[in-house]
Amino acid sequence: MTPKPTLSTVAREAGVSIPTVSQVMRGTGRISDETREKVLNAARKLHYLPNSRAAAMRSGENREIGFVINQLGNPFNAEVVGGVVDLLEAEGYLVSIVDTRDDRDRQKRQLESFIQHGRGGLLWVPAVDTSQDTFDMLAAQRIPVVTFLRHVRRDLDHVGIRNTEATATATRYLADLGHRHIAYLGGTDETLVRKERIAGYKQIMAERNLGPGLVWSCEDNKLAGLNAMGALLQAHPQITAVVCNGDMVALGACLSLNRAGKRPGVDVSVFGFDDIQDAAVATPALTTMAVSPHKLGRKLARALLDRIADPDMPPVVSEISAEPIIRDTTGAPARSA
């Protein structure tokens, strides 16, 4: 088996010293263009790649970032990850992504592995009921951390969404259309995000004297939304509109209506949340509260870079407002309603 290429083998191939190869790889030193090109050609020929972890140990700078997220399979999260990776890779960072699936024990193992293998920063959606010990571990390691979506600590940077404001906007829009029987559909756990979204929905229901509201739980995926919408209308046929916990639930709800011979936006209005790419291309196109997941990911990455650049600055909280995108799945209630 051919030995792994090293600084020494590159130096031998290029006919220069090991320190010269090291300087070329790091972009330092006064090296002539001719010598630099010789070294780079030798490195390409031998498929040499610098050892970033060794370089980090020498410089004290680690350019690997960990992203601990929940439910990576959700297209919203996938689009956020795309934004994070695009910005951080452009800045010379490598991003490692893991999915906790909202399991705090799995999360603890993943975080410990990140620390043991060296990460220069952490983007993190904390699992439900994350232990104090986990926060203490991260504080002790002095790793730059930015939490995402779930704002659970005031002493950490955070990027999130104004959830209560967003669902209040969606519910108000439906009420202004004339809907009087509006349900909240989606989500199963009592995460801070879901509590905030339900609070916005209930706020408008109370303001408009529309009753206490009806919250119908289901997993945040398309199949669950399909099944839940059918069960909701069977149990509560008076419902003419739903505000959904996310676009995947909303898309499933629309599919359920289609299969039942009902028209989303005509017989029952459906309002999503996130504005994933599928929302615009669905048939019918989904009305939703847009947060531009890819841009949100870039904003999250930028917050971490700011923290890395200035470790001692006060914690920064950045929450964006969602924008209503009105498409085809909302309309005035049918006359029969």
Per-residue pLDDT tens digits for 67-92: 999 988 899 999 999 999 999 999 98
Q: Which CATH architecture has domain 7-50?
A: Orthogonal Bundle (1.10)
Q: What is the per-residue pLDDT for 45? A: 87
Longest C-alpha distance within the chain, in Å?
86
Q: What is the per-residue pLDDT for 61? A: 60
| Tokens matching residue 175 | 């009420």
Interatomic CA distance for residues 66 and 117, integer angstroms: 10
Q: What is the per-residue pLDDT for 66? A: 93
Higher-pLDDT residue of 122, 7:
122
Lowest pLDDT segment from 13-17, 215-219, 326-330: 13-17
- For residue range 210-233, what is the model confidence (pLDDT) as tens digits? 999 999 999 999 999 999 999 999
Interatomic CA distance for residues 42 and 6, integer angstroms: 11
Q: What is the per-residue pLDDT for 178? A: 97
The contacts of residue 36 (CB under 8 Å, 6+ apart) are 24
Residue 317 in this model has a pLDDT that exceeds 80: yes
Q: Which CATH architecture has domain 163-291?
A: 3-Layer(aba) Sandwich (3.40)
* Average predicted confidence (pLDDT) for the chain: 92
Higher-pLDDT residue of 140, 208:
208
Residue 59 in this model has a pLDDT that exceeds 50: no
The contacts of residue 101 (CB under 8 Å, 6+ apart) are 70, 71
The answer to whether 189 and 129 have CB atoms below 8 angstroms apart is no
- For residue range 151-195, what is the model confidence (pLDDT) as tens digits? 999 999 999 999 999 999 999 999 999 999 999 999 998 888 999
Lowest pLDDT segment from 16-25, 54-63, 200-209: 54-63
- For residue range 112-159, what is the model confidence (pLDDT) as tens digits? 888 877 778 999 999 988 999 899 888 888 889 999 999 999 999 999
- The stretch 86-109 carries a mean pLDDT of 92
Interatomic CA distance for residues 281 and 283, integer angstroms: 7
- The stretch 276-293 carries a mean pLDDT of 96
Does residue 284 have a cis peptide bond before it, meaning omega lies within 30 degrees of 0? yes
Length of the chain: 337
What is the β-pairing status of strands 145-148 and 121-124?
parallel
Interatomic CA distance for residues 145 and 203, integer angstroms: 33
Interatomic CA distance for residues 149 and 163, integer angstroms: 9
Per CATH, 7-50 and 62-161+293-321 having the same topology is answered: no
Residue 60 in this model has a pLDDT that exceeds 70: no
Tell me the domain boundaries of the chain.
7-50, 62-161+293-321, 163-291
To the question of domain 62-161+293-321 being in CATH 3.40.50.2300, the answer is yes
Higher-pLDDT residue of 51, 211:
211
Q: What is the per-residue pLDDT for 298? A: 97
- The stretch 247-257 carries a mean pLDDT of 98
Interatomic CA distance for residues 173 and 287, integer angstroms: 11
Q: What is the per-residue pLDDT for 57? A: 43
